[in-house]
Amino acid sequence: MKTSPYAIEVDVPSQTLTVKNRAGEAVMQTRVATARNGVGEKYGSECTPRGRHYIRAKIGAGLPANAVLISRRATEELYSPQLRTLYPNRDWILTRILWLCGLEPGRNRLGEVDTMRRYIYIHGCPDEDAMGVPSSRGCVKMRNSDLIKLFDLVPAGTPVLIKG
């Protein structure tokens, strides 16, 4: 795992994501939306997992904003409100994916609590989705423009602390 010059902190109570440099100074902060079911680590809970994680993979480099991803693959679709009307139950994962992996065995790694096997991401979402309001199915949702900045800033291996 590469050493990153940054660390990400997701604060669930305040629905914010902050990127800090090695000196601990905030270099980016934005509103996010975590799980509508609150925090929790169990498989199938649709909760946002707490604890220490890292970015295991970065997916979607070079895709346009609003590119639709399903199973970590671009579909060739671009999100629009009309597309949402056609697929009202789709979990909209847009633009880029930062796939998280837990670092704490028994808490967010391995077995029934494995963040990576739960497919927990930091990802983009439709512009009309509210930020600052828990509404995801476990992931950390961001505005697409903020996600592109984050994706370009941090390398794979960047630590992510999710505080609940």
* Residue range 81-96, pLDDT digits in tens: 999 999 999 999 999 9
163: tokens are 């505080």
* Residue range 41-56, pLDDT digits in tens: 999 999 999 999 999 9
Could you tell me where the beta strands, DSSP code E, fall in the chain?
6-11, 16-21, 26-31, 51-59, 67-70, 73-78, 94-102, 121-124, 140-142, 159-163
- pTM comes to 0.96
What is the number of residues in the chain?
164
- What the chain holds in terms of domains, given with CATH numbers, is 6-163 (2.40.440.10)
* Residue range 88-126, pLDDT digits in tens: 999 999 999 999 999 999 999 999 999 999 999 999 999
